[in-house]
Amino acid sequence: MKAIVYEEFGSAEVLELKEVDKPTPKDDELLVKVHATSVNAIDMIFRSGATLLFGMTKLMAGFKKPKHNIIGFDVSGEVESVGKNVIKFKNGDLIYACLRSPGANAEYVRVPEKFAAIKPANMTHEEAAAVPDAGGTALTGLIYTVTIKEGQRVLIFGASGGVGTYALQIARTFTTEVTGVCSTSAVSMVKSLGANAVIDYTKEDFTKNGQTYDIIFDAVGRNVTSYSKCKNSLTKNGIFVTVDFQSVMFKYMLNKNVRGYMGNVVAEKLDYLRDLIEAGKIKSVVDKVYPLSQMADAHRYYEEGHPKGKIVITIQD
C-alpha cells in the first residue's frame, strides 16, 4: 500500500511517499481502508520530534529516531476486516476515528475498536476526517473539563482554527452568548458559525474591553494567551480552560478557575459529535484539501499559521 513515511525527525521535507506492507489488525482492531485523514498539531510534534509535555511527546514519538514511521491520527474510511473480538463493527461499515498510535497517512490503517465510531451519515469522508481530533478536543474541553451550562457567556480564543471552529459550534448548542476571537480574514466565517459577537484581535484586545465571561476557552495554546492575561475578563466563578495542558499543569494546579487538558478522544465522544452533526448543529470547516502525495505541502501550509478550520488529505480516488 502507499503511505507517507518518515525515517528521521525534521521539517516537512522528511515526508516521503512509499510502498509499505499492508497492516494486519489485532483481535480488538479493525482494518480500515482510509478515504481521508487530516492534519493536526500532533502530526507536527511527531514529525519534528519536539519535546513537549515534560518529555512525554518523546516517549510517544521516539527519542533519536521516529518510533512510528507513519503519522496521521484522524481517520475516515471503510472497514475492510475485523479482529475476532470486535463486536460493534462489520466489514463495509463507514467509520471515523482518532488514533492513539499514528498511522492514518496511508491507504490502510489498524484502528482499535474503542476509538472508532460510525461516520456521520450527512458528511463526506473529507468532512468527517476533519472532526475526530479537533472536534473531540473541543468537546472534551467544554463538556468534560468544564461543564458548560445553558445561558453562560463563553469566549472562544482562536475561533477560526481547527479546534476553535468546533468549540464555537458546540458552545452554541448550550448558549447564544458565544464570542469568537479571530483575525480579520476569518471574521465573516466565525460569524457564520453562530457567534453572536466576533472580536478581531488585530483591532481590539478582548481583555481590555470590560466584558466578562463564564468560560474563556483557549483553542490555540502555545502561550499566545494565558490565564494571567484573561483573568480580569472572567466572571467571579469564571473558568479559563486551555488546550495547552503543559502551561498550566503545575503553575495553576490549585486554582479552581484554571483548567488544562488533553483530548482523550474515544468512541463515546465521537458518538456524541455524530449526533450533533446529524442534527445539523455542527459542520466541518475545511480550508484546503491535498492528495496524499502532497502531504509535505499540507504540513508547510499548516505551519505557515492561521488555516481557517482544517486541512484534509484525501487517500482514495
The pLDDT of residue 249 is above 80: no
Compute the average pLDDT of residues 12-16. 98
Give the C-alpha separation, 162 to 160, whole Å: 7
The pLDDT of residue 254 is above 80: no
**Which distant-in-sequence residues (6+ apart) come within 8 Å of 61 by Cβ?**
9, 45, 46, 49, 67, 68
Domain boundary assignment for the chain: 2-131+284-314, 134-260
The pLDDT of residue 291 is above 70: yes
Give the C-alpha separation, 131 to 37, whole Å: 10
The pLDDT of residue 181 is above 70: yes
The per-residue pLDDT for range 300-310, each reduced to its tens digit, is: 999 998 799 99
Superfamily of domain 2-131+284-314: Medium-chain alcohol dehydrogenases, catalytic domain (3.90.180.10)
| Backbone φ, ψ for residue 215 (5° rounding) | -135, 130
Please report which confidence band the pLDDT of residue 180 belongs to, taking 50, 70 and 90 as the band edges.
Answer: very high
The pLDDT of residue 35 is above 70: yes
The per-residue pLDDT for range 95-124, each reduced to its tens digit, is: 999 999 999 999 999 999 999 999 999 999
The pLDDT of residue 250 is above 70: no
Residue 248: the pLDDT is 77
The per-residue pLDDT for range 122-178, each reduced to its tens digit, is: 999 999 999 999 999 999 999 999 999 999 999 999 999 999 999 999 999 999 999
Compute the average pLDDT of residues 36-44. 97
Please report which confidence band the pLDDT of residue 317 belongs to, taking 50, 70 and 90 as the band edges.
Answer: low
Residue 151: the pLDDT is 94
Q: Is the pTM of this model over 0.75?
A: yes
- Look-up: residue for cell 461499515? 93
Superfamily of domain 134-260: NAD(P)-binding Rossmann-like Domain (3.40.50.720)
Answer yes or no: are the C-beta atoms of 218 and 159 closer than 8 Å.
no
